[in-house]
Structure 1
Amino acid sequence: MPPSSLRVVYAFAREMHPKTSDVFIQYGTAGFRTKANLLEHVVYRMGLLAVIRSRVKNGRTIGMMITASHNLEPDNGVKLVDPDGEMLEQSWEEIATRLANVSDNDLESTTEQVIKQVNADMSLKASVFIGMDTRYTSPRLAAAAANGVIALKGTPKEFGIVTTPMLHFCVKCRNDNTYGTPTEEGYYEKIVGAFKNIRDKLPVYGDYNTTLYVDGANGVGGKKLNIIRKSLDGELDLNLYNLGGNGGKLNLNCGADFVKVSQTPPVGVEHAPFQRVASLDGDGDRIVYYYLDDKEKMHLLDGDRIATLLASYVTELLRASEASGLRLGLVQTAYANGASTRYITEELKVPVSCVKTGVKHLHHAALAYDVGVYFEANGHGTVVYSKAAKNAISKIAQEGEPEQRKAAQLLQNFIDMTNETVGDAISDLFLVETVLRARGHGVRQWMEAYTDLPCRQLKVTVQDRNAISTTDAERRCTAPEGLQSKIDELVAAYTSGRAFVRPSGTEDVVRVYSEADTQEAADKLAAEVAQAVFDLAGGVGERPALPA
């Protein structure tokens, strides 16, 4: 592409999507995410980058999702999706950050430099899928994304309002037609279809009941479940709350992140004792479960609980089908409750890997296993299956002994129900409901598998989150000097104590996590560690207080 044909890049930027702010913005764990009014020029430029990425990948389709996930409504964001439905390759994050922050006057020359740097053949066709969540700022940003694609002569396809996992699914299907059909209907056909198939093979018995309450976080996931509900033929009776009407604000006092972090039920949901409730987040890629007991005490079933439930059931099916030689492993982050890690390794006898926070790290580590289960404690996760595992299971489903065949066929349905590209609240909901039904379990039996250590999460506002450096999958702090030794000293004073700190991937805060043998102790340890962070890492505002 000769330099003259890049002039339209500058023209679009100057006339329609000018850079009006000098705020530096960084491509992080979840792409770019900040106040929506700072993003239009960034999203336009990511349209340019998506076209370049598509051409580097020989014209394969790239995805762009306009969302700020579990953040509140004034925020928005954009993340790029690679051809296999995975997060953008990490080495491109720096390129994305550079392109987002140059001046309009330097945009044309920087685009040209990036094209040369990545050796993109600009004569190839380029395809970009664009999806958005329900935020009122999303349509304007989606239009900016499409203009970025058009400016470099790529072809945008806009999907409108979809969950983030639906867009990942469609990108994967577009580039690999054996995975499914790259449309929202294709998503329902594969994932909901597999759920209905497997339900036919599993009678309802024991403490399982088909009623499920769902907190939709006033976001897109609840809206899509409302569509799906009509096709479930009573196989699952969904009672949906927080669907965005009646003045409900996206993620405000509701949704998976609110429930997980605050450990309190969302507003807007009716409750009956021991009735299971699933909370989705704003863009439908996270899910946690909870229930209230007969004393109205809340019991949280988070990503760790979902991971152990799914891993134990898949292990059962692999054994029953006698699919020998397949390695199943579970991937967690430092946020995983220590009790869950012990249960997985000692009771389930499943190997565990611990990696840095961020789905891209978990997903990559899970691919090392034939069957890799990964979940963050916040409820973002899925199961991935190698080609060898799928082939072995398929062979047994066709040629095995009757009992082996039966287990392998269940596992095939389970695989089809799984969105392997990324954590998917809707897919994960169906997986969880399938396991509970297969076992005749209600929430109490699920909860009884192991007892969580009490924990607490806090955040400390700092001048510069990059003052904190970590190692050992973020479990140890290497900077600022003296902080880790202080944390070690604090932790040593508590029974079953554990704590770590890490810089947020999305805002200028340091996240603090603690565990101990009682909730009171976990709360106090978290506050003490937060004070140490404030003192040693440049805290802003009021120093955190110890619990009364």
Structure 2
Amino acid sequence: MTASYRTVYAFAREMHPKTVKHDIHYGTAGFRTKASNLGYIMYRMGLLAVLRSRYKQGVIGIMITASHNPECDNGVKLIDPHGEMMEQSWEELATKLANVQDDELEATIKEIVQKYSIDMTVRVNILIGKDTRPSSPSLAKSVVDGVLALSGKPIDFGIVTTPQMHYFVKCRNTHNEYGIGTEEGYYTKLVSAFKRLRGDKFNNKNYVNKILYDGANGVGARKIKYFKERLGDCLEIELHNDAGIGTGKLNHLCGADYVKSQQLFPTGVPNIPNQRCVSVDGDADRIVYYYNDENNKFHLLDGDRIATLIAEYLKELVLACGIDLNLGLIQTAYANGASTDYITKTLKVPVACVSTGVKHLHHKALEYDIGVYFEANGHGTVIFSKNAKDKLNEAAKDNKLSEEQQQSAEKLLALIDVINETVGDAISDMLLVETILNAKGWNIQQWEQTYTDLPNKLLKVTVQDRNLLTTKDAERMCVTPEGLQEEIGLIVEKYNKGRSFVRPSGTEDIVRIYAEAATHEESEKLAAEVAQKVYELAGGIGAPPIIP
């Protein structure tokens, strides 16, 4: 038994004892629960990050955030060396390490070390970032204690967006080939590429060079100020819901999740007819666009709309280059059926459907030369393969190609620098969307007119145990409880263009219900009927759903 193992146990017992009796699971976004229950989890994730770093022989990141959750919650997730989510086999280790008793922690660490033949003498760096929640500083201290307990070196980046942390990790592991791994390096890379694409003049037409930005009273409100300074007249950003000037609580009645799930205009943003607005979430990895028209009707342009806009523009540039590149778009079951039809039938771009969770979309996107992936909630990005980047670099310098072909290749290369390929990045995605709207000379109404969404409704049912509900076929079919899928099928048949599916949350004991149909009234009634069946057959607790 080494001194390090004894230190681990002593710290756990004296400073970070296990305080929660029930098990907690590493879900699609890591651990997420009430901040008061996370101290010992943070400490143990500091330990795991050091083990993972030594095993991968690279820098690992830890992000402390609960994204779109209320301010009282918090969470933590680990970031792998290429800036991607931690691989699934280690998610199971994270769950195990989080739930063992204090007196079993030492043996569990030793077991992981032996199983993966980890050299405990290797010096490693662990990058740590946090969002603006009041609980984040104390939880970060717990992470640091865990890192130090196994002789790792913690490097604290302070308050940063989640996408920035992913970017920093990839930069460190590519020795700054991907970019300079600092906040200034991040701003410089994105803004320089955006200005390069924007040029000296706008394509005008109907594009208006102004957006109203809802910062959700979170870190996205802080960091957008650095972009405002650097963008200057290139893009006018009017900031709202900025906690720095005391306008409200994190994610409360504002932010991307509120706008998407409630399909309502957020508080704190002025209601100006036909004005293009964006909302990001608490850690700035999701974004949605929206506006109210002259009749005060709300219009939402979510992740599906962003994905189709990006895929269409990228396809245009690839065709203009004359280069053979494989372009694909990845969605989840939450994608609106109308968007899938538009992508496959009008844009003629292949679509793949995967399970909910960015890690699933990201993994699938790697199969393409250009993989566009977005969840309907506004979390997504674009990944370019090495083959794509090599071909584009060659085309940009190939004098045998026409001027138009070379310029199209140069545009694609600049777009790559605007995009944060490591993970969904609200600010990066915003710059990408603004680039495309300007290039097309579109206003937000013209963007919306590309296809008509089917009305949809999201509901959730609190259950005794979410693990009783299992799914297959990218979560579009319910396997257990027995009989539930058959009931859903019978309900869906009653509605014109009806579609519905249910899935368990990755972090809470709730079941999420999605429904779409030909009219808003039908989609709401369909969702409520399915929710009622979930409540009856999947162990619902609390007040039962009401059918309108």
TM-score by length of 2: 0.98
Give the whole-Å Cα distance in 2 for the aligned partners of 1:109 and 1:32.
22
Find the aligned partners of 2:271 and 2:198 in 1 and give their Cα distance.
26
Does residue 521 of structure 1 match 2:522?
yes
In the alignment, what sits opposite 1:235?
A: 234
How far residue 98 of structure 1 moved from its aligned partner, in angstroms, is 0.7
Corresponding position of 2:223 = 224
**CA shift at 1:5, angstroms?**
2.7
Counterpart in 1 of 2:491?
490
Displacement of 1:166 in angstroms is 0.1
Q: Give matches, 1:31-70, under 5 Å.
A: 31-58=30-57, 60-70=58-68
Q: Matches of 2:219 and 2:195 in 1, distance apart?
A: 22
Q: Verify the 8 A CA contact 1:202 1:437 in the aligned structure 2.
A: no
Distance 2:113 2:453 in 1: 50
Matches within 5 A, 1:164-183: 164-176=162-174, 177-183=176-182
2:425 equivalent to 1:419: no
1:460 match: 461
How many Å apart are 1:47 and its aligned residue?
0.4
Matched, 1:77 2:78: no
Runs of 4+ in 1 over 6 A off after TM superposition: none
- Which moves more between the two structures, 238-247 or 407-416? 238-247
> How is 1:191-230 mapped onto 2 (pairs within 5 angstroms)?
191-200=190-199, 203-230=202-229
Q: Distance in 1 between matches of 2:4 and 2:541?
A: 47
CA distance in 2, matches of 1:150, 1:401: 57
Q: Deviations over 1:436-487 (max 9, x none)?
A: 0000000000000000000000000100011111000000001001100000
Note if contact 1:34-1:76 (Cα within 8 Å) is conserved in structure 2.
yes
Following TM superposition, by how much is the alpha carbon of 1:201 offset from its aligned partner in structure 2, in angstroms? Answer: 6.2
Deviates more, 1:243-252 or 1:71-80: 243-252
Structure 2 equivalent of residue 119 of structure 1: 117
1:274-308 alpha-carbon deviations (Å, 9 max, x no partner): 10100000000000000000011110000000000
Inter-partner Cα distance in structure 2 for 1:184 and 1:338:
39
Aligned position for 1:130: 128
Contact 1:202 1:438 (8 Å CA) reproduced:
no
Alpha-carbon contact 1:68-1:75 (below 8 Å) kept: yes
The reply to whether residue 477 of structure 1 matches residue 475 of structure 2 is no
Cα shift at 1:392 = 0.5
Instruction: Please show how residues 281-296 of structure 1 align to structure 2 within 5 Å.
Output: 281-296=281-296
Deviation at residue 202 of structure 1 after TM alignment: 5.8
Question: How far apart, CA to CA, are the structure 2 residues paired with 1:12 and 1:185?
Answer: 36
Corresponding residue number in structure 2 for 1:86:
84
Structure 1 residue ranges without an equivalent (≥5): none
Contact kept? 2:34, 2:73, Cα under 8 Å: yes
- Contact 1:477–1:483 (8 Å) recurs in 2: yes
Paired AA for residue 505 in structure 2: S
Equivalent AA in structure 1 for residue 486 of structure 2:
S
Please state whether the residue corresponding to 1:231 is helix, strand or coil. helix
Query: Is residue 2:506 matched to residue 1:505?
Result: yes
Task: Report the RMSD for the aligned CA atoms in angstroms.
Answer: 0.9
The 3-state SS of whatever aligns with 2:313 is helix
Percent identity among equivalent residues? 59
User: Displacement of 1:233 after TM fit?
Assistant: 2.0
Q: Residue 341 of structure 1 aligns with which residue?
A: 340
Partner of 2:327: 328
- Asked whether the equivalents of residues 10 and 108 of structure 1 are also in contact (C-alpha less than 8 Å), the reply is yes
Partner secondary structure for residue 131 of structure 1:
strand
Look up the match of 1:451: 452
* Residues 198-219 of structure 1: per-residue CA shift (max 9 Å, x gap): 1116623111011110000000
SS for the counterpart of 2:460 is strand
DSSP-derived class of the 2:445 partner = helix
Corresponding residue for 1:259? Answer: 259
Alpha-carbon distance in structure 2 between the residues aligned to 1:290 and 1:153: 48
Structure-2 residue corresponding to 1:275: 275
**Deviates most, 127-136 or 7-16:** 7-16
Query: Mapping of 1:313-462 within 5 angstroms?
Result: 313-323=313-323, 325-399=324-398, 400-462=401-463
Letter in 1 for 2:521: E
Deviating more after overlay: 186-195 vs 60-69: 186-195
Aligned residue pairs, count: 544
Residue 232 of structure 1 aligns to a residue in which SS? helix
The answer on whether the counterparts of 2:241 and 2:247 sit within 8 Å (CA) in structure 1 is no
Q: Is the Cα contact below 8 Å between 2:286 and 2:378 reproduced in 1?
A: yes
**Partner of 2:9 in structure 1?**
10
Task: Indicate if the aligned counterparts of 2:187 and 2:226 stay in contact, CA closer than 8 A.
Answer: no
Q: Distance in 1 between matches of 2:117 and 2:128?
A: 24
* In 2: Cα distance, 1:269 partner to 1:515 partner: 28
Task: For structure 2, list consecutive stretches of 5 or more residues without a partner in the other structure.
Answer: none
Counterpart of 2:283 in structure 1: which amino acid? D
Task: Identify if the C-alpha distance between structure 1 residues 202 and 513 changes in structure 2 by more than 3 Å, giving closer, same or farther.
Answer: farther
* Change beyond 3 A, Cα 1:201–1:316: farther
| Cα distance between partner residues in 1 of 2:122 and 2:325 | 40
Shift of 1:506: 1.6
- Output the TM-score relative to the length of structure 1: 0.98
Deviation per CA, 1:201-249: give whole Å up to 9, x if none: 6623111011110000000011100121011121000000001132510
* Alpha-carbon displacement from aligned partner over 1:30-58 (angstroms, at most 9, x marks no partner): 00000000001001100000000000012
